A and B are shown apart, each in its own frame.
Chain A
Amino acid sequence: MADSSTTEQSMRDLMEQYYGRIAQLSVGLARGGRNIQIMEVCGTHTMAIARSGMRQRLPKNLRLVSGPGCPVCVTDQSYMDQAVWLADAKGFAPPIIATYGDMVRVPGRVGSLGEARARGAAIEVVYSADQAVELAQRTPGRQVVFLAVGFETTAPGTALAVMRAKAQGLDNFSCLVAHKLVLPAMRVLLSDPDLQLDAFLCPGHVSVILGYDAYAPIVEQYRRPCVVAGFDALQVAKGVVVILEQLAGGKLEATSVYPAVSAGGNAAARELLAEVFEVTDARWRAIGTIPGSGLSLRGDYAAFDAARRFSVPEMESYELPGCRCGDVICGRTLPEECKLFGRRCTPLDPVGPCMVSSEGACAAAYKYGGFRFGRASAGRGDKQP
């Protein structure tokens, strides 16, 4: 096997080849008067693009925009407020809130989960749904609520955890479910006349479950390429090349440059999801309710629904004052265009989820800069303090 310096060199060479091909293809497309916008819907892509400085290397008429690919960022404020309501537990025995770390600092109407913890609430960070089940086993007599967020990659973990809790007859485990499905959101964004997206760079590990054929109806209906890419900059660049080849007159099709993704995806995983969940309407930050874009526990598993167990009240959706995360996750606004960015809103003291989450577009822009590139009106000065 090649040593790491050779590998690094060959990776750099390959990246240069992709940049060359992208420049070449974009010129061809510019002649047709087309300003190309490619949206990625994957937090890992957001980070890979920012980290690699790719935007600085792309032609002026090609823009990579970050879409709703960060699970924490797309989670509606009403959900955050419900989570804090559960944590504060006024008038009932306080449950332990088991959550992925990124959720702890997202502000809500009465503060974040972190602030609830400072008030005395029990907030435990877990790395998997299964760890939340384990926590429930260790604390009999104390309710544990797992904050089940994420896309098709993480939802099977919740399904397995709930199945396990049911098999063991655990009566102190439940989930506040806000799992989201990627495809319905992509359709909504393609239907937005203000956005004018030319293609989607589709998420790698979501697509391991879905299979790239799942995007075929979108390609068919909207005549837009959908290309799955893996998690690193090389994969993203390769995906962009394939998208441009399709736009430049190639056959429009759903495909993948990530070998881990098959056409059919993981049918066993989808069966498991269908066993535990049913498809439901879901609220997305800034986008609103998208029909058939979420999951809720079904049948016997509904007993593990925290909203039902604790009679969690419906809460309102709203935008955080001054925060433009909603526009950022829809690709309408660049992180740097938000007045709060880098001033009132920083990773240390974030206002919105896109700065809280390690894979949010604002966190990526703050850490690596470079989002202004690819927008014709923007110059240099992307360096953040």
Chain B
Amino acid sequence: MCLAIPAQIEKMEDKTATVVLAGSRTNVSLALVPEAKLGDWVLVHAGYALTILDPQEARETYELLAQIEVDEEEVKRASTAWTQEEKKT
């Protein structure tokens, strides 16, 4: 239940970041990593970033994840999107 996946921050708006996870662009909450910057690699779990990663380590972890057999439910849970606040009109 605790699987987390590395992803790079492509875009940032307030406390939400856009990252690529499991092949698609997903938004994740940065509430737990307030110091995160554009381009940082973060470790993502269930819609939020748990920590900032060293870029080299993140890439290695990412490759490793691609090679091992991981439960599909686990991947879905780890890579689920943070639902953004509805924009006030």
Asked if A134 lies at the interface with its beta carbon under 8 angstroms from chain B, I say yes
Q: How far is the CA of A156 from the CA of B31 in the complex (A)?
A: 10
B1, B54, B76: the one contacting A72 at CB < 8 Å is B1
Q: Helix, strand, loop or mixed for chain A's interface?
A: helix
Could you tell me if B4 and A208 are in contact, using CB atoms closer than 8 angstroms? yes
A130 touches B83 (CB 8 A): yes
Is B4 a contact partner of A133 (Cβ separation < 8 A)?
no
Contact in complex: A232, B45 (CB < 8 Å): no
Cβ proximity bits A199-210 to B, threshold 8 Å, 1 near / 0 not: 000011110110
Q: Mark A165-196, 1 if CB is under 8 A from B, else 0.
A: 00010000000000000000000000000000
From A151, A156, A358, B74 is in contact (CB under 8 Å) with A358
**Interface membership of A269, Cβ < 8 A:** yes
The chain B residue sitting closest to A157, CB to CB, is: B46
Within 8 A of A (CB), among B20-79: 29, 31-34, 43, 45-48, 50-51, 53-54, 57, 59, 61, 63-64, 66-69, 71, 73-74, 76-77
Min CB distance A347 to B, Å, is 12
Q: How far is the CB of A161 from chain B (nearest CB, A)?
A: 9
* Docked-complex contact A205 and B45, CB < 8 angstroms: yes
> Bound state CA distance, A259 and B61, in angstroms?
10
Q: Within the complex, what minimum Cβ distance (angstroms) separates B69 from chain A?
A: 6
What are 22 of the A-B contact pairs (CB < 8 Å)? A4-B63, A51-B68, A71-B1, A72-B1, A127-B77, A129-B46, A130-B46, A154-B45, A205-B43, A205-B45, A206-B2, A208-B43, A208-B50, A230-B61, A232-B64, A233-B68, A259-B53, A259-B54, A259-B57, A260-B51, A268-B32, A358-B73
B: residues with CB less than 8 A from A are 1-4, 29, 31-34, 43, 45-48, 50-51, 53-54, 57, 59, 61, 63-64, 66-69, 71, 73-74, 76-77, 80, 82-83, 85-86
Give A residues with C-beta under 8 Å from B.
1, 4, 7-8, 11, 42-44, 47-48, 51, 70-72, 100-102, 127-131, 133-134, 137, 149-151, 153-154, 156-157, 160, 164, 168, 203-206, 208-209, 230-234, 259-260, 262, 266, 268-269, 272, 358-359
Contacts A131-B83, A160-B31, A268-B34 given; 16 further ones with Cβ under 8 A? A1-B59, A8-B67, A70-B1, A71-B2, A102-B1, A127-B76, A127-B80, A131-B47, A151-B2, A154-B2, A160-B47, A168-B85, A205-B2, A266-B32, A266-B33, A359-B71
